[in-house]
């Protein structure tokens, strides 16, 4: 009830944090086979090495086939093959473009000649996901773009008879003039820094919490089949009291699970090199969402227990349905990347709304107004599950 959910959140956060760091903090290993006869291949290699994002391993002697083989043998995660005519082609292209620009201004005359576009071969380990490959290609492109601009300006100066580009211009070309300030969206002025912990801890805690269906659902079937419910029916206490007491116990367990996992995220994660879980400012809101999430999980478990005929059925239906609802609810993949029809379906998953409630608090620092619709929807889910449980037990003459 406590160790396995905690272990699950630990493992997922470590995995997701590593994936996050691979493109942000850790250096990606890159094997560069630079065969360029000119200086730009060397220039690009230096730029990539100096960017701090790549651990560049230069191997000028290897051909493109060997480069692929070495990447396949895990020598590096990525590789670049720069052909011997890279500088020549880039210079031709820049020169041609600058000549065309100047001719448009009536300075000189542009020669109409056929140009071939320079290219670089990017090789990657097949385990590297497409999104990472695109990020790396984007970084390489940014450096090539900067070099291309510098070449064009040099060509323009040369066309105009100035041999040397002034240092100030060179330095300005080399650096970006526009800085992009990355700010996570927030509904109020308080900023929350999203990280792997902030995303994963609430989502996987909800997933673990809903797995109480295996325990509570099975328990209901067992008691029904063992005659305990029959015996209780002959007693003066209301059966509703018996069910309510079970719910209180399981809600307490769910609540303690959340408390334990969030506490570990906030106070233990920073000591083991994982990002800290920043608790939201609206702690009462967090308590309400936690209570409603546990109530929804308990109500769902009761419903499965009422519907299933055998313990095996309760186990199977319970566990598999939670995995499906978790997938739909955005535990693994955020719902915004799902196709539109799946996004609509995901709203039918109670886990989606539990996670949504926590995200409003943990990632957007939301207030009561932002939480209201989530509170209403979670309460409605609980009510529907409880009602279905009552109806099934009524049909079975248990209550």
Partner 1 sequence: MSQAIIQIDQLSKRYKEASEYSLKDVSFTINAGDKFGVFGPNGAGKTTLISIICKLFSQTSGEVRYFPANGHDLSIGFVPQDLALYEELTAQQNMEYFGALYKLSKAEVINRTEELLAILGLSKVAQKKVKTFSGGMKRRLNLAIGIIHNPEILFLDEPTVGVDIQSKNAIMAFLEELNETGTTIVYTSHHMEEAEDFCDTIAIMDYGKVIANDTLKNLYESYNVSGLMEIMILLTGKEYRDGV
Kindly list the residues in this chain that would bind partner 1 in the complex (CB under 8 A). 223, 225-228, 230-237, 242, 397
CB-nearer residue toward partner 1: 46 or 309 = 309
Q: Which of 224, 221, 207, 200 is nearest to 321 (CA)?
A: 207
* Separate counts of helices (H) and strands (E) for the chain: 15, 4
CB-nearer residue toward partner 1: 74 or 237 = 237
CB-nearer residue toward partner 1: 214 or 361 = 214
Instruction: Output the six-digit token pair for 72.
Output: 């396949």
CB-nearer residue toward partner 1: 21 or 233 = 233
Concatenated DSSP letters for 147-203? Answer: HHHHHHHHHHHHHTT--S--HHHHHHHHS-S---------SSS------HHHHHHHH
Q: Which of 242, 244, 240, 264 is nearest to 252 (CA)?
A: 244
Q: Side-chain half-sphere of 341: how many Cα atoms within 13 Å?
A: 0
CB-nearer residue toward partner 1: 111 or 396 = 396
Exposure b/e, 42-78, CB count within 10 A at least 16 = b? bbbbebbbeeebbebeeeeebeeeebbebbeeebbbb
User: Smallest distance, Å, CB 306 to partner 1?
Assistant: 17
Compute the distance between CA of residue 95 and CA of residue 89 in angstroms, rounded to an integer.
Answer: 10
Q: Which of 356, 382, 394 is nearest to 250 (CA)?
A: 382
Q: Which of 181, 183, 182, 188 is nearest to 364 (CA)?
A: 188
Going by their DSSP bridges, the two strands 78-82 and 54-58 should be labelled as unpaired
CB-nearer residue toward partner 1: 311 or 343 = 311
User: Smallest distance, Å, CB 370 to partner 1?
Assistant: 42
CB-nearer residue toward partner 1: 107 or 241 = 241
Q: Side-chain half-sphere of 184: how many Cα atoms within 13 Å?
A: 17
SS3 at position 398? coil
User: Smallest distance, Å, CB 336 to partner 1?
Assistant: 43
Compute the distance between CA of residue 207 and CA of residue 257 in angstroms, rounded to an integer.
Answer: 11
- CA 208, 209, 214, 215 dihedral sign is positive
Torsion of the alpha carbons at 89, 90, 95 and 100, rounded to the nearest 10:
90
User: Smallest distance, Å, CB 242 to partner 1?
Assistant: 7
Going by their DSSP bridges, the two strands 78-82 and 120-124 should be labelled as antiparallel
CB-nearer residue toward partner 1: 3 or 235 = 235
CB-nearer residue toward partner 1: 78 or 219 = 219
User: Smallest distance, Å, CB 241 to partner 1?
Assistant: 8
CB-nearer residue toward partner 1: 161 or 227 = 227
User: Smallest distance, Å, CB 249 to partner 1?
Assistant: 12
Compute the distance between CA of residue 348 and CA of residue 338 in angstroms, rounded to an integer.
Answer: 14
CA-based radius of gyration for the chain: 30
User: Smallest distance, Å, CB 227 to partner 1?
Assistant: 4
């Amino acid at each position: 009830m406590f160790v396995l959910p905690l272990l699950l959140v630990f493992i997922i956060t470590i995995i997701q944090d590593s994936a996050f760091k691979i493109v942000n903090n850790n250096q990606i290993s890159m094997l560069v086979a630079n065969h360029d006869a000119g200086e730009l291949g060397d220039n690009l290699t230096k730029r990539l090495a100096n960017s701090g994002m790549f651990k560049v391993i230069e191997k000028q002697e290897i051909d493109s086939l060997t480069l692929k083989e070495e990447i396949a043998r895990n020598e590096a995660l990525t590789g670049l093959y720069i052909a011997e005519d890279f500088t020549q082609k880039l210079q031709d292209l820049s020169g041609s473009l600058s000549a065309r620009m100047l001719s448009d201004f009536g300075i000189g005359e542009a020669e109409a000649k056929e140009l071939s576009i320079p290219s670089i071969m990017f090789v990657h380990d097949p385990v590297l996901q497409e999104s990472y490959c695109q990020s790396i290609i984007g970084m390489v492109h940014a450096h090539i773009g900067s070099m291309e601009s510098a070449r064009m300006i040099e060509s323009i100066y040369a066309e105009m008879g100035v041999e040397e580009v002034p240092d100030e211009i060179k330095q300005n070309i080399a650096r970006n003039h526009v800085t992009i300030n990355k700010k996570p969206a927030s509904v109020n002025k308080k900023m929350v820094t999203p990280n792997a912990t902030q995303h994963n801890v609430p989502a996987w805690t909800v997933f673990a919490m809903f797995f109480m269906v295996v325990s509570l659902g099975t328990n209901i079937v067992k008691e029904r089949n063992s005659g305990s419910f029959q015996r209780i029916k002959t007693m003066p206490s209301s059966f509703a009291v018996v069910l309510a007491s079970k719910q209180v116990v399981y809600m307490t367990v769910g609540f303690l699970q959340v408390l334990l996992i969030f506490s570990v995220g906030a106070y233990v994660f920073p000591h083991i090199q994982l990002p800290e879980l920043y608790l939201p400012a609206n702690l009462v809101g967090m308590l309400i969402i936690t209570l409603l999430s546990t109530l929804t999980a308990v109500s769902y478990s009761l419903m499965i227990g009422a519907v299933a005929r055998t313990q095996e059925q309760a186990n199977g239906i319970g566990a598999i349905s939670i995995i499906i609802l978790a997938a739909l609810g955005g535990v693994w993949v955020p719902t915004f990347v799902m196709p539109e029809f799946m996004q609509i379906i995901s709203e039918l998953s109670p886990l989606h709304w539990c996670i949504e409630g926590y995200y409003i608090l943990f990632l957007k620092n939301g207030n009561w107004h932002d939480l209201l619709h989530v509170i209403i929807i979670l309460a409605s889910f609980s009510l529907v599950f409880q009602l279905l449980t009552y109806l099934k037990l009524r049909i079975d003459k248990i209550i």
